[in-house]
Structure 1
Amino acid sequence: MTVYSLFKKQVSDSPNSIAISFNGNKISYKKLAEESDKIAHLLIESGVKPGDIVGLCINRSAEMIIALLGIIKSGAAYLPLDPFFPDKRLEYMLNDSATRFLITESLLFPKFSYYKGKFIDVNEIKQIKLSSEVVDKSDENNLAYVIYTSGSTGNPKGVQIAHYSLTNFLLSMQKTPGISEKDNILALTTLSFDISGLEIFLPLITGAKITIATRDEAKDGKSLLDKIKKEKVTIVQATPSTWKMMIDSGWNEKLKIKALCGGEPLPQDIAAKLLELVDELWNMYGPTETTIWSSCSRVIKGESIHLGKPIANTQFYIVDRDLNFCPPGVAGELLIGGAGLSIGYLNRDDLTTEKFITNPFDKEGKSKVYRTGDLVKLNSKMQLEFLGRIDNQVKIRGYRIELEEIENVIKKNEAVKDCAVVVKEVNNDKKIIAYLVLKSKLSEENLPSEINSIRDVAIRNLPDYMIPALIIPIEQFPLTPNNKIDKKALAARDISGIISHTSTAKAETEMQKTFVNIWENLLGISGIGIDDNFFELGGHSILAAQMLADFEKATGKKIPLAEMFTSQTIRQLAKIVESDNTELKWSPLVEIKKGDASLPPLFLVHGAEGNILLYRDLAKRLNSNRSVYGIQARGLNGEDHIHHSIEEMAADYIKAIKTVQPKGPYHIGGYCMGGSVAYEMALQLSEKGESVANVFLLETYNACLLDHEALKKTRIKEKIENIKFHFENVKSLSGKEKVAFVQRKAETALKRTSARISRITSSMGLSDKKEIKSHITLTLRDINDQAQMRYQPEGYRGKVVLLRPKVSFTTESDPKFGWGDFVKGELKIYKLDVAPRGMLAEPFVKQTSSIIESEINQ
């Protein structure tokens, strides 16, 4: 019995039931099976054999679940690779696991330039048509997945879980805490965290529904609550930190949900609040090595919180140092045995032997148990209580962390003589503090740059939840009587007086002082300057949400969480509030240039990145007294629903333009992908009897005619061509024009590159110098690119004006850019004296604006 065989039964029983809901799109069980079949087919055709490990690096989406099921059906095991992990960590995981196959999205290919295995683009399934069902090759004795957890050696270690362990866990969870086909589970956990297995597989073997939360929603308590209410979610699994984030966001009404809480000890105060807000609250416990959760207990008002009883086919033993039973009331280490036991650590026989030992209570010596390192005891009611750890492992926001791994990464810096990492709780938030002794004493002037250099090493090698909140140099470590570093003494040190090394600028306005007060209370440090970066001081996404909630309580002013992508200092945040930007109602329609209200305006639709800054030079160059409006993408504000199809965008944007121009004739255009949206808007307006005078396609190729397989093969060639085209544009310019053009293009390229780095290295973007909402912009770009590839335009009988460059990419050989058979009316083509990627930049934009103006005036 495997996950796929259990899922297949639900497909047979209720094929038309909704299996997945994501951003307004719904997928039935039948459709999910058909799509996962395509992935399985792709893998088998690529040479995947049962027992192989397949890497999966993909953003949160329905395709993520389709890929998981496809991998399992092919007989392989999946290896989750979080797109936001540092490249070096991902590279280590791929190399250590010897993964020969990697499923990802084409836009993530550049992250894996070093990878020598087989790339599989998840979007390839759109091209596949199967004549028969793929044979299920999953086997209960084979691996289901490999998940890497923090390791004490400085590198993560891969935990191997077999299908029989996973199915045992799921079937037990079906009964307790319980789930039915009527339930709707919120999937909010990253795939690299093993508890995501419950959110994804448990509903699928039961016939229930999965509602997927986006990465941004998972970081915002209010967004999660809104989603739970809107989607009528009935089961939510989260860590105590996430539950606290939702409570702090203003949750005050009872919801009919079953709440599962695990990943770290459940504080009594959070439990008490949740019991007032949910129907049921369950405390979940279990290490990754014993398959997700090994026990659960329902939390009852007025009773103490405990770990509960082991799940089906699972055994608990409490032992002393000599592996003898501990009687009730005596603390000891918890050993776990049974069906959930991992096969062991991948390529780490030494560690497997150390942690997975022969069961000391099995007389025949045939079974094994896992040494959890957790200190527990049976209380007077014979309930199992968690007391802490017996080693240097900690859990923060649900993530298991070996502090030695952080220490070993920091020690790689040449300036560091020794390092000791401890965890300190400040205002109910656990902080990682790195104390270090430097090889040579530095002046106060040079110390900040060295600390920043050490932090950079951590950022490049560790996921964001493992990056120290504070890095504190000291002259020498306190020692125990055995001459070992006294970490208890370090953890007991008062850090409230630690002064930030990066900023000396002090608060001047009342607004800035309010922020300083909130930050210092929340972060537990003093001396914060207004140019200090929130995330470099130890803030994270959950704390950011709490900080903005505290600010709203103190001032009554609301700052969207999305602003933290670009405004990460007190100076920047205060400026937003003082300029009252947050009071403005966000709209996709932005007036770029104000003109004569009696003239029909020109509407320009955003490109793939969602913003409209690319039209700033064009709007300036248009000489006529005509208003110019830009249409920016929904979701750019970090709150609105993101459109996933060209048709959906067009319908929404038509409503927006009608607020300023109720009737035609309309002038609509867009660059690249924006041109496709403008074309669809014209189609929809025409169908409603509206007049459309012009549709401007600015370097817009009809993507439905492109060979997506050929595009993947020529990706590097296109990048080279792109550089060549920029060089051609520069060659034709004068001295000053050359400088301006190069500066503009370099600036854009730098922003895009830094945005990509930002999104990969941190869930909130840890650079305070960037002027773009990096994560939102890149998410929109991914979604919009996919929408353009899926778009199948109908024939249009109006007038279309195509502005194309003098040369094209080799993949875009059609001189009509693929529109010849689709435009049934007038298709006017202008071949500009500019290579690709230049028609909207100075000085070439002069020719572009001249053509547009001429066509509008006709």
Structure 2
Amino acid sequence: MTVEGVPSSADDEQCSPSTAAELLLRAAHNHPDNGVGYLGDDPEAAPQTMRYPHLLAEATRLLHALRGRGARPGRAVALLLEQPRDFLPALWACLLGGLTACPLTPLREDPQRWAAQLRNVAALLDDPLVLTTPELRAHMPTGARLDVVDLTELTTGDTQQLSVDVVARPEDVALLVLTSGSTGTAKAVQLTHANLVASMRAKAEAHRAGPDDITFNWVSYDHVAAVLEGHLLPVATSATQLHIAPQSVLTDPVVFLRALSAHRVTATFTPNFLLGLINARLGASPLADALDLSHVHRIISGGEANPVATGVRFLELLAQHGLPRTALWPAFGMTETCAGSLYNREFPDADADGEFAAVGRPVTGLEVHIADPATGAAPSAGTPGEVWLRGPMVTTGYYRDAAATAAALTPEGWLRTGDLGVLNGDRLTLVGRSKDSIIVNGVNYYSHDLESVLVEVEGVARSFVAAFPVRPPDCDTEQLAVLFASTVLDEELPHVVARVRDRVVLHWGFRPAVVLPLPRSEFPKTSLGKVQRGVLRARWEAGSYTERAHEVAALVADTVGGHTDPQGPTETALAEIYAELFGLSAISATTGFFDLGGTSLDVLRLARTVRARLGVELPVLDVLRAPSVRELARLIGAPATADRAYDPVVTLQASGEGTPLFCVHPGVGEVLVFVNLAKHFARERPFHALRARGFNPGEKPFGSFTEMTRSYVAAIRRVQPHGPYALAGYSFGAAVAFEIAKVLEADGERVAFLGSFNLPPHIKYRMDELDFVETAVNLAMFLGLVDVDEAGRLPGRLRSLPKNEQIATLLNLAPPGRLAQLNLDLPRLTAWADLAHGLTSLGRTYYPTGQVRAMTVFCADPLRGTRHDWVQKELRRWDEHTREPVQYVDVLGEHYSMIGPRHVHAFAALLRAELARAFSETALDPGAT
């Protein structure tokens, strides 16, 4: 079945532009008082405004400067710019000058993934110019050969004499938009000026948009809806537009509503998941102050399916604030169709009988065809098929990727969307997807990307993994199901389930709703051995695996104990916070934070949420010492001086029958670095970390290496009075672990395992290099405030500054949100740097003597030089200090990333194997396998 949007009879001024550049020229000429407003931290405050003539002037200035930098028509310019006031003028400089803009988002929290992104961009775009800010340029990882320029370098002479010189043509590629969601190699959707103009004309007609509109955007510019729906459309209609940083809305969804009310917004866009967040927030805590949403004409909601119940609840909750019942428009669009291209203006009345809202009718010029994916033929009326789209707003293909273009576009120009739908007249309803992706919170994630990572998890059978979307009842967004075959017995399955869940969290940033081990016989495969995800998904939805899911849930429940209801207001509040963090409906008061799958990042999120909800400063150590709701509530309610005596031992996980493992902190003194590693030993052996003295108020740091060693030995023996012992140390901690082992062996105890995580015995020479500035910079690098390359440049820059300014500079360089995650400010970071400097000073007086029985050294890339030289000239000097041959084990990553999120799974497997080998000589370790 095929339909086409109703042609417009209007022949107005929107028909005249042929390039996107002309849209801005027209807006600046016809409506010079309208423009772009930038909202700050207070969403209700007056915005900083750049009117359209000023935006045109700034874009023209940048274009002349880019030309002076060698940018010629047709060259790709990657826009690595986070703030609207930087991004939008740069975008228009490209559109005016016939340059091809490619928006990028910095992946600050994952430097390795960011480096891979930049290498891909360099290869795909063929020598692009990367336009960024000085701050982002300083944080960019090295490795990709890119021509980078920052905005401060783009200067021109007399800006009053610059003329607007539009050289773009309709057929020129205006935008390259990288496909989102996968950490694999992205494709680039190419959108021409003709695509953009056709789309804007059709959108404006569908929205009935005009210059009196006030629009609001909070979505980041790597999302096509932000660039086109949130910015280019109001330019095309000469409307006033407002923009705010995404984090402002994601941190507090009510900010979205406050901005709509305060600025009398008439139109906005948001994925459905935000509606669900707002519903949950208002359902739990109605707004105390009045909002006026009566002027909101349309809230376009696309990017993922829209459950009818979510939309209706949203409209009901906000009706008392004047939101019209017709204001919510479910929609559909893709990057390949210039974002929104079908709109449902009849919601909710026309969708009352459905679970999901229809996506509506196509815009003018867009054809919709329901096809059999194999033949292209139309099925009988009312029968679902693959949605194919064709029209002037549809992409011409993927940049420099003929294979992907041929797979997506038929010879007749139809775009295969991969979505399944059914037409009722000209009204489209989606009923599923044929392509292998999951949409969570409006972002596409690709099944193959995750599956390639999960097959490396210990206990998962290779080629027997399937990741696909599910939508549990009453859920506002799709969720992830992971089915896999295991290589272990049922009693070991909880370990593997936890590893799979944690790997998803660390790789994609959210928890799967379903993690289910199945027999290999349950995995249907094609003749080529490919797992048929669609069959597994159909079986799951039909309830075929319900019994197995209950069996696995019971196994997992047995490992964390039964359910205990929270008691009292603090326990109840903490249980609600835990439930939100882990996406669960109920939390037992006695279940441990890490048993639920908590990661080191979750610890920081918990501390931040507790501070916001309960007004309590929650030290990271408190979560580590008291991980259950009940324990943490008791600690929060205790007097400030109670139960706070210094104890070096922090138990990161207590379950398991194996000999406990004690790991000594690195040179920064903190133990949060071990959290993700400890999770891999749950129900195998307890994992304890040793934390330096001096973090808590009134604690005096250690005065000597010997005092530190004796304190740690005493603490270890309080937990485990006698051997055999298992010890390890990360970086600086390896020397301390060596000294602890010497003391224990001198006392007649057996140290069955001693590990060094990439540290040689002679640390004095390295410690001598580390003055306070070097130590503070290394601490900042350890905390993710600066990257490795920046850390190499900073000491020389900082040494001439007073101490407070040194630390303040490090804080100022931190990625947005990182300081809030870590609960860091100037006094806290200064105190931490002082403590780390004190430990460094102890290392300057340390010289290794004597021997221990045996040792394992885990070898990663060094801070500088080659791994070969590091191992042969430095790490192998441990041979002088053992009576038996040292075991040298190569591990993935660098010194600072070897047990980080990217490599912790591989490291844990190697550490487990070495523990098993070391304990194979004795039958005293039940955990040795």
TM-score band, normalised by shorter chain: 0.5 to 0.7
Give the superposition deviation at 1:97.
2.9
Secondary structure of the structure 1 residue equivalent to 2:140: helix
Give the superposition deviation at 1:537.
7.9
Residue 405 in 1 paired to residue 449 in 2?
yes
Change (3 A) 1:53 1:481: closer
Residue equivalent to 1:100: 128
Specify which of 40, 52, 62 is matched with residue 85 of structure 2: 62
Change (3 A) 1:218 1:513: closer
Aligned 8 A contact 1:15 1:28 in 2? yes
Specify which of 342, 352, 355 is matched with residue 405 of structure 2: 352
Residue equivalent to 2:205: 175
Q: 2-side partners of 1:395 and 1:531: how far apart? A: 27
Change (3 A) 1:255 1:127: farther
Please give the residue correspondences for 1:10-159 in structure 2 after superposition, counting only pairs within 5 Å: 10-23=27-40, 24-84=47-107, 86-87=110-111, 88=113, 89-94=116-121, 95-109=123-137, 110-124=139-153, 129-130=158-159, 131-150=161-180, 154-159=184-189
Give the superposition deviation at 1:161.
1.3
Residue equivalent to 2:470: 424
Give the superposition deviation at 1:237.
0.8
Q: What letter corresponds to residue 449 of structure 2 in structure 1?
A: E
Residues 600-655 of structure 1: per-residue CA shift (max 9 Å, x gap): xxxxxxxxxxxxxxxx99xxxxxxxxxxxxxxxxxxxxxxxxxxxxxxxxxxxxxx
Residue 311 in 1 paired to residue 378 in 2?
no
Residue 374 in 1 paired to residue 419 in 2?
yes
Give the superposition deviation at 1:352.
1.3
Please give the residue correspondences for 1:126-275 in structure 2 after superposition, counting only pairs within 5 Å: 129-130=158-159, 131-150=161-180, 154-196=184-226, 197-219=228-250, 220-250=252-282, 254-257=293-296, 258-275=298-315
Change (3 A) 1:179 1:578: farther
Aligned 8 A contact 2:129 2:149 in 1? yes
Give the superposition deviation at 1:61.
2.9
Residue equivalent to 2:583: 523
Give the superposition deviation at 1:122.
2.6
Please give the residue correspondences for 1:528-567 in structure 2 after superposition, counting only pairs within 5 Å: 529-532=591-594, 558=613
Q: 2-side partners of 1:561 and 1:178: how far apart? A: 49
Specify which of 299, 303, 317 is matched with residue 346 of structure 2: 299
Which sits farther off after the overlay, 193-202 or 209-218?
A: 209-218
Residue equivalent to 1:434: 482
Residues 189-214 of structure 1: per-residue CA shift (max 9 Å, x gap): 11111111210111112221221111
Change (3 A) 1:472 1:720: same
Q: What letter corresponds to residue 249 of structure 1 in structure 2?
A: R
Give the superposition deviation at 1:727.
8.2
Give the superposition deviation at 1:247.
3.2
Residues 141-189 of structure 1: per-residue CA shift (max 9 Å, x gap): 1112112225889433221111111111111111111222121111111
Count residues with an aligned counterpart.
605
Residue equivalent to 1:782: none
Q: What letter corresponds to residue 200 of structure 1 in structure 2?
A: H
Q: What letter corresponds to residue 441 of structure 2 in structure 1?
A: R
Q: 2-side partners of 1:410 and 1:41: how far apart? A: 49
Q: 2-side partners of 1:477 and 1:397: how far apart? A: 33
Change (3 A) 1:128 1:284: farther
Structure 1: which 5+ residue stretches go unaligned? 360-367, 582-615, 618-698, 700-714, 731-740, 778-858
Give the root-mean-square deviation of aligned CA atoms.
4.9
- The two structures have a TM-score, normalised by structure 2, of 0.56
Q: What letter corresponds to residue 423 of structure 2 in structure 1?
A: L
Secondary structure of the structure 2 residue equivalent to 1:50: coil
Give the superposition deviation at 1:452.
5.5
Secondary structure of the structure 2 residue equivalent to 1:294: strand
Secondary structure of the structure 2 residue equivalent to 1:303: helix
Aligned 8 A contact 2:438 2:479 in 1? no
Secondary structure of the structure 1 residue equivalent to 2:439: strand
Aligned 8 A contact 1:141 1:164 in 2? yes
Q: 2-side partners of 1:198 and 1:216: how far apart? A: 19
Change (3 A) 1:729 1:347: closer
Change (3 A) 1:174 1:565: farther
Residue 394 in 1 paired to residue 442 in 2?
no
Aligned 8 A contact 1:336 1:372 in 2? yes
Q: 2-side partners of 1:208 and 1:98: how far apart? A: 36
Aligned 8 A contact 1:523 1:539 in 2? no
Aligned 8 A contact 1:140 1:164 in 2? yes
Change (3 A) 1:25 1:434: same
Change (3 A) 1:134 1:389: same
Aligned 8 A contact 1:147 1:158 in 2? yes
Secondary structure of the structure 1 residue equivalent to 2:478: strand
Aligned 8 A contact 2:275 2:311 in 1? no
Aligned 8 A contact 1:22 1:62 in 2? no
Give the superposition deviation at 1:67.
1.6
Residues 71-98 of structure 1: per-residue CA shift (max 9 Å, x gap): 2222112212112474425225413333
Secondary structure of the structure 2 residue equivalent to 1:387: strand
Change (3 A) 1:457 1:248: closer
Q: What letter corresponds to residue 103 of structure 1 in structure 2?
A: L
Give the superposition deviation at 1:509.
6.1
Q: 2-side partners of 1:72 and 1:573: how far apart? A: 55
Aligned 8 A contact 1:290 1:340 in 2? yes
Residue equivalent to 1:684: none
Residues 757-786 of structure 1: per-residue CA shift (max 9 Å, x gap): 9859xxx95xxxx44389xx9xxxxxxxxx
- The two structures have a TM-score, normalised by structure 1, of 0.61
Give the superposition deviation at 1:241.
1.0
Give the superposition deviation at 1:300.
4.0
Secondary structure of the structure 2 residue equivalent to 1:357: coil
Aligned 8 A contact 1:468 1:538 in 2? no
Q: 2-side partners of 1:59 and 1:502: how far apart? A: 45
Residue equivalent to 1:384: 428
Q: 1-side partners of 2:185 and 2:558: how far apart? A: 29
Give the superposition deviation at 1:454.
8.5
Q: 1-side partners of 2:197 and 2:62: how far apart? A: 22
Residue equivalent to 1:289: 336
